Amino acid sequence: MNIIHQLRELAERYDIEEMDKLVESLSPTQLEAYKEDIIGTYDMVYSYGAYDLDCDKVSNPEDFIFYLLGIIDSIQRFFPDRPYYQERGYCYQNLASRAQAVEDKVRYIQEAIHIYNIAPQTTDIQMSMVRALTDRMVITGQFTTEAFTELLYYFRPVLNDTSFIRALIHQCFRVRSLPFAQNHYWHNRLLREFEGAMYLLAEKKPLVYLDWAETYHYMLFHDSTDIDEEYKSQMVDQTASLLQPLESYYTEDAELLNRLGKAFADTARRLQETDLKLAYYWLSVQFFTKGHEQQPAAWTFPVYATNSLLEIAHIYHEQGTYEKLINTFEHGLQLFSQVYQHEEDFHLNLYWGNFLVAYSGQAYDYKSASINRLAEEKLQLAAVLGRNFYSQPYLSMARLAIKSGNTEKCVQLLLQCREAIRSNGYTAYDLDEVLKDEDFREVWDQLK
Closest CA to 268 of 301, 239, 295, 288: 239
Stretch 49-58: mean pLDDT: 94
DSSP 51-96: HHHHTT--SSHHHHHHHHHHHHHHHHHH-TT---HHHHHHHHHHHH
Closest CA to 43 of 2, 72, 77, 65: 72
224: pLDDT strictly greater than 90: no
Chain-centroid distance, C-alpha 415: 36
**What b-and-e string marks burial along 231-244, b requiring 16 or more CB atoms within 10 Å of the CB?**
ebeebbbebbebbe
Q: Count CA atoms closer than 13 A to 335's CA, side-chain side.
A: 34
**Contact status, residue 357 vs residue 333, Cβ threshold 8 Å:** no
Closest CA to 87 of 135, 24, 44: 44
Tens-digit pLDDT profile for residues 386-441? 999 999 999 999 999 999 999 999 999 999 999 999 998 898 999 999 999 999 99
**What b-and-e string marks burial along 271-282, b requiring 16 or more CB atoms within 10 Å of the CB?**
beeeeebbbbbb
Which pTM was predicted? Answer: 0.88
Tens-digit pLDDT profile for residues 265-319? 999 999 999 999 999 999 999 999 999 999 988 889 999 999 999 999 999 999 9
Q: Taking CA 150 as the corner, what is the angle to CA 145 and CA 152, rounded to the nearest 5 degrees?
A: 90
Predicted local distance difference test score (pLDDT) of residue 297: 81
